[in-house]
Amino acid sequence: MTLNDVYRKGEEMLLNAHIPDADVDAAYLMEHFFGCDRARLIIHGDENADDAFTEKFFSAIEERKTGKPLQYIAGIWNFMGYDFYVGKGVLIPRDDTEILAEEVCSYLYGKKDVKAIDLCSGSGAIAVTLGKICPDCTVEALEYSKDALEYLKKNIALNDAKNVTAVYGDVTVCCGEYDDGIFDLIVSNPPYIESDEIDTLQQELQFEPRMALDGGQDGLYFYRIITEKWHSKLKCGGMLAFEVGERQSVPVSEILEKHGFEKIYTKKDLHGYNRIVCGIKK
């Protein structure tokens, strides 16, 4: 088979399995296994495909047909220009979260001797990005899932983020282990999907860990807990920054206001939804 033959058959298999964006997924897997992006496929598509890579490619196509996320199949995903290991047991870094990462990096960029903590860190996408872009910042990455914690540790090592430390802990109880007023920034992309909605989510999301998705009955459980229990750990003038669901910016803003935050603001994602909520401690 030629490279073009492999790509077309892979795309056809995904289309027949009703996988959305079948062409994009097939193209990504071609680049992942053959090192062949779209431009190279156009120029060199008539070349014979390596048999071993072809076998791996079609094995991955079969996995994708089941709805398994492309990121889990590849085992690695890019976020903000950095690579992160991902797989079963850890939430996949998403483009929407880059809005939050950009905002907190901008907030701390250029500041000296500052300290941040990323709560519900997961793969460490936010913490590692913050540590790389703001090298004078010390970052703690707190994660409760032991599966996710292993990915977090590997991703810190993968990106040589020496100023980022993985910490095992339950965000709902371990705040007492920290002194008041020690952080310049607290950032979190917590679970925020309403419990009753999780089983109705698209097939891909069913592969991801429920504990990384379930935000309680109204989706706001972790926003309340984090704001109530962690706000004292911020310095005066420090920032608390959240990623939120599509309809959550108003109630999350109200939670911050209730706990004495000021200069509360939101920012939209590429789809026009308010995706982050930030506030400054008085």
**Residue spans per domain, the chain:** 3-66, 88-281
Q: What Rg, from alpha-carbon coordinates, does the chain have?
A: 21
pLDDT in tens, 178-212: 999 999 999 999 998 888 888 887 777 778 888 88
pLDDT in tens, 70-87: 999 999 999 999 999 999
- Reference 156, options 168, 165, 143; nearest CA is 165
Alpha-carbon torsion angle 203, 93, 191, 89, nearest 10: 70
267 Cβ contact list (under 8 Å, min separation 6): 99, 103, 274, 275, 276, 278
Separation between Cα atoms, residue 114 and residue 268, nearest integer Å = 27
Angle, in degrees to the nearest 10, between helices 95-108 and 125-133: 40
Residue carrying structure tokens 């750990």: 233
pLDDT in tens, 102-147: 999 999 999 999 999 999 999 999 999 999 999 999 999 999 999 9
Taking the CA of residue 105 as centre, how many other CA atoms within 13 Å lie in the half-sphere pointing to its CB? 18
Which residue intervals of 125-248 are DSSP H helices?
125-133, 146-158, 221-230
Tokens standing for residue 34:
């053959």
Strand partners, 277: 242, 266
pLDDT at residue 233 in the model: 98
pLDDT in tens, 10-43: 999 999 999 989 999 999 999 999 999 888 888 9
Distinct helix (H) and strand (E) counts, the chain: 10, 9
104-109 contacts at long range (C-beta below 8 A, 24 or more positions apart): 104/130, 104/185, 104/187, 104/239, 104/241, 105/129, 105/130, 105/133, 105/134, 107/185, 107/239, 107/241, 107/278, 108/134, 108/137, 108/184, 108/185, 109/133, 109/134
Is the per-residue pLDDT at 155 higher than 90? yes
pLDDT at residue 75 in the model: 95
pLDDT at residue 207 in the model: 80
Tokens standing for residue 46:
């008539």
Separation between Cα atoms, residue 166 and residue 184, nearest integer Å = 18
CB 194 within 8 A of CB 143: no
Q: What is the CATH number of domain 88-281?
A: 3.40.50.150
Separation between Cα atoms, residue 189 and residue 79, nearest integer Å = 14
For the chain, the first-to-last Cα distance in angstroms comes to 65
